[in-house]
Amino acid sequence: MHLQIATISNIPRLTRTFSKSLPNPATFHQNFHINHIIKLLHIPPSHSILLYEGAFTDDGFDNRITRLFGTRYPIIQAGMIWASGWKLASAVSSAGGLGLIGAGSMYPAILREHIRHCKEATDKPFGVNLPLLYPDIDQHVQVILEEGVPIVFTSAGNPKTWTARLKEAGIKVVHVVSSAKFAKKSEDAGVDAVVAEGFEAGGHNGREETTTMCLIPAVRPAITIPLIAAGGIASGRAMLAAMALGAEGVQVGSRFVCTPEASSHIAFKEAIVQAGEGDTMLSMKSLTPVRLLKNHFFQQVREAEERGATPVELEDLLGRARAKRGMFEGDMQEGELEIGQVSAHIREIKPAAEIVAELWDDFGKAARQPFAW
């Protein structure tokens, strides 16, 4: 199957999968030429066209994301704190996606251990997610350089700070953004791709509160580098929707928390499985906005915000190691529980490799028959 995505001046982002004329979807492995799209849409020849292509192959997918990372599928497992250790990252990479180690909850020495374990566990590409707001960032970068990590995703900070240094070492650099404005700044800083994350996502979020469905089509025409969608994606259908809007891959976080390989506490995983619609909410907007699963700690924060608590008061309430207490140690009432809205769709804990296979299989089915349920 061949998907083509065209960006056309002054015309909305367009994605079309042409299969109606094919008698058997199983034989759909053809290139629908861009000139056919132009003819069907009555696009004047004078309009400039920027074409991104993606094609199903015998063992996966071929597009700018899979070529950039050397993976079979354009599926990235988010580098989440207290969840994304070497076991999860290596399992996802071995299954054909790109696994990321979450450095945000690791001291430099611990990060080095996880990188080395990951190298031993898989011969496939993997990366490290590096939140730029955390202390000891220079030490984390040094570990990454010394250990030869091939891919780094940066977030929560200025991409100009470390991108050049990482790329000098031959590392592929991706930055996470929450707006078209910051996506363009990231491209200008020299990153190889961006992740545009909607505010459905768990953990730290953008202040703009832009949803993934609105964010992806806003970011796509603003940049020329590869675009990865994140936020609210836990199924192949959601993956197809994101790519129809202009993404070339997806980053999945919450779904991979509910795996045996994730280092999160089993109580946290079970709480996610039990979560329903409306059980998460964006909180602590005067500090760094973060989406939390509702519990006693969340209610304390909410009450403090409603009475007009200052950022200092909220910091005192948050204290230290609140996220570790909840997600890693299993305190479901007083811990900080970071998870996305898509938790309402997660109903079981299953191995990471099964999730990758399920995402890819559902994506293929949805691409062949997008309107079939």
Residue-wise pLDDT for 245-266, tens only, equals 999 999 999 999 999 999 999 9
Rg (CA), the chain: 20
Tally Cβ neighbours within 10 Å of residue 164: 12
Of 11 and 230, the structure prediction assigns the larger pLDDT to 230
CATH of domain 61-262+345-368: 3.20.20.70
Q: Which residue has the higher pLDDT, 17 or 343?
A: 343
Average of pLDDT values for 82-105?
Answer: 96
Q: What's the average model confidence in pLDDT over 124-137?
A: 92
Distance CA 93, CA 99 (A): 5
Q: Coil, helix or strand for 205? A: coil
Average pLDDT over residues 320-346: 93
Average pLDDT of the residues of the chain? 87
Which pLDDT score, from 0 to 100, does residue 286 have? 77
pLDDT digits (tens, 9 = 90+) for 75-92: 999 999 899 999 999 999
- pLDDT of 135 reads 77
| CA-wise closest residue to 149 among 73, 94, 78, 69 | 69
Q: Which residue has the higher pLDDT, 276 or 40?
A: 276
Q: Is the pLDDT of residue 209 over 70?
A: yes
Q: How far apart are the C-alpha atoms of 138 and 192, rounded to whole Å?
A: 21
Mean pLDDT calculated for residue range 273-285: 91
Q: How confident is the model at residue 349 (pLDDT cuts 50, 70, 90)?
A: very high
Q: Could you give the CA distance from residue 161 to residue 279 in angstroms, rounded to a whole number?
A: 36
Please report, for the chain, the start and end positions of each structural domain, with discontinuous segments joined by +: 2-53, 61-262+345-368, 276-342
On the question of pLDDT at 194 being above 80, the answer is: yes
Reported confidence tier of residue 52, pLDDT bands at 50, 70, 90: low
Average pLDDT over residues 158-168: 95
For helices 352-368 and 236-244, what crossing angle results, to 10°?
50
The confidence score (pLDDT) of residue 198 equals 94
Above 50 in pLDDT, residue 308?
yes
- Asked whether the predicted pLDDT for residue 309 surpasses 70, the reply is yes
Percent of the chain topping pLDDT 90: 71
Helices (H) and strands (E) counted in the chain, each on its own, are 15, 15
